[in-house]
Amino acid sequence: MQQASISTNDMRILELNAEYLGITLGMLMENAGREVVRLMESIEPLEGKRVAVLCGVGGNGGDGMVASRYLYAAGASVDVLLMGDEGSISNPHTFTNWKILKNIRGISKSILRTESDVKSCKAISKAELLVDAMLGIGQTNAVREPMLTAIKTFNSSKATKYSIDIPTGMDSDTGQVYGVTVRATHTITLHAPKPALFKSSEYVGRVHVVDIGIPKDAGLVCGGGDLWLYTRPRKPTAHKGDFGRILVIGGSDVFSGAPALTAMAALRTGADLVSMVVPDPIVATTRSYSPNLIVHSLNNTILVPESLDSVREVAQQCDAVAIGPGLGQAPQTIKASNSIVQALMSDGKMMVIDADALKALSSSGISLDPDSSIVTPHWGELATLLARDLGDPDVVNNRIERAVEAASKFNTTVLLKGHVDVIAHPDGHYKLNYTGVPAMTVGGTGDVLTGIAATLLSRRHGSFKAASAAAFISGLAGEKAFQELGDHIEATDCIAKIPEVMKPTSR
């Protein structure tokens, strides 16, 4: 049976979550290089063979450098060809392995900076085995020199050709070829097959999968990988609205703070624009929280069914909607909430449903969309959604089972809040988040989580990824606030720590 493939983003999430668990990227690189050679040895004898390893300056090049050491240990005559200047090595673990290679005199090293350097290099034409470790996954544009000429020279050789993870020159997700790509005899892919390997068989040869030591827990626990997806630097050409236009529907004649916390958390998470629709009695108060909020009035003291058209009109200008904080439980509000959820679903809007809107959802019979909606109950609200006693909330397996049950019942992504957050998908897939502190039992932290989740949802990586990252960010922000203030934190203290948690990363 064909092994399930893994996308570029999901692979990077796994690697970084493994690092979060203590398994460094350097350890994974070492494992990858060793397992590549172990697989090669199972195909053919290596002792006495002339092998040329073409290495890029990124992580794939580091895999190749590690493999070079193991090839040398297996008795091969090894030439390592670095595609570009050593000062351009972008991965710190790759740089470490390059320094190690420079200390090993038995391995020949050449630096190929230009097209002419490649053409004058004899190692490729003399090799009996060639190893492609130039680019790996994540390529999205055409190959440039000296790699372009290296690929052409590589392909013209009669040697047995191995690619590590993915043939250079190919998009690992789509299989698209950017001008020219390596034509491998064997592709040794890491951890799991990449989608392209099933789409461009004429380039990949025979596909082999090797285990590089990523534990199962890396796919079950929220960590730095889930955060990475939302913290990459913005392009200089970014425009207003590229990073989310959020609408918060909430508040009542009694509650003004809850929707405001959701909205301010959305702004701190990086939303470009945040609008609010709130009842008339709290409009002035809500506006006073921040001049950055765009506040619309319901022209009523509470949300009522007659509010549907005006809410729907505002929502058309937004990417994601958060509904529920502070709405109250008046019968008219419950009816209006259900109508709004159904209308926005039909409009294709992404939604986070929280607090009082959850209570309305419980008896609605609504089936949501697991890729564009998130519901965020705590244990008591989950019991209301499932309309029964749920047993012990402190037993993690029970929390998982009940969250998956609710996800299936409402066809949505569930983010079950608690001492261990559970993120569940209707297909049974789940993640656990362990960030957070008991001090976060203070009122308003759930509203903050809703704002974070809505903003991440608007980035269009799907509900499950957004919910996983939101739980991680919210809990870590609470931990940082606790480090300063102990058990005296407020929800606004957690909001203030969101930028610190979400420092941009280019990895």
Residues 186 and 314 in one domain: no
pLDDT beneath 70, residues of the chain:
1-2, 505-507
Kindly report the pTM of this predicted structure: 0.94
Q: Is 314 helix (H, G, I), strand (E, B) or coil?
A: helix
Give domain status of residue 362, yes or no.
yes
Residues 41 and 91 in one domain: yes
Q: How far apart are CA 187 and CA 165, in angstroms?
A: 6
383 CB-near residues (< 8 Å, 6+ apart) = 389, 390
Residues 102 and 164 in one domain: yes
Give residue 505's pLDDT: 66
Residues 200 and 245 in one domain: no
Tracing tokens 């994974």 back to the chain, one arrives at: 28
Residue 79's domain comprises 8-219
Closest C-alpha among 147, 91, 94 to residue 121: 147
Residues 192 and 297 in one domain: no
Task: Count how many residues are written for the chain.
Answer: 507
Q: What are the φ and ψ backbone dihedral angles of 400, each rounded to 5 degrees? A: -60, -50
The H or E element spanning position 431 is strand 430-433
Give domain status of residue 3, yes or no.
no
Residues 431 and 290 in one domain: yes
Give residue 359's pLDDT: 83
Angle at 481 between CA 479 and CA 482, to 5 degrees: 60
Q: Is 322 helix (H, G, I), strand (E, B) or coil?
A: strand
Give domain status of residue 200, yes or no.
yes
Give domain status of residue 2, yes or no.
no
Q: How far apart are CA 249 and CA 260, in angstroms?
A: 10
- Using an 8 Å Cβ cutoff, are 320 and 302 in contact? no
Domain at 160, CATH number:
3.40.50.10260
Residues 388 and 259 in one domain: yes
Give residue 2's pLDDT: 61
Domain at 416, CATH number:
3.40.1190.20
Strand ranges inside 9-76, DSSP E: 50-55
Give domain status of residue 45, yes or no.
yes
Residues 49 and 163 in one domain: yes
Residues 210 and 330 in one domain: no
Give domain status of residue 506, yes or no.
no
Bridge partners of 294, per DSSP, are 275
Tokens in use for 361?
A: 């959802």
Tell me how many domains the chain contains: 2
Give domain status of residue 310, yes or no.
yes
Q: Is 353 helix (H, G, I), strand (E, B) or coil?
A: strand
Residues 276 and 184 in one domain: no
Strands 413-416 and 421-424: antiparallel
Strands 293-297 and 273-278: parallel
Residues 419 and 453 in one domain: yes
Q: How far apart are CA 124 and CA 55, in angstroms?
A: 12
Of 173, 191, 219, which closes a domain? 219
Strands 421-424 and 430-433: antiparallel
Give residue 507's pLDDT: 54
Q: How far apart are CA 9 and CA 7, in angstroms?
A: 5
Give domain status of residue 507, yes or no.
no
Residues 266 and 378 in one domain: yes
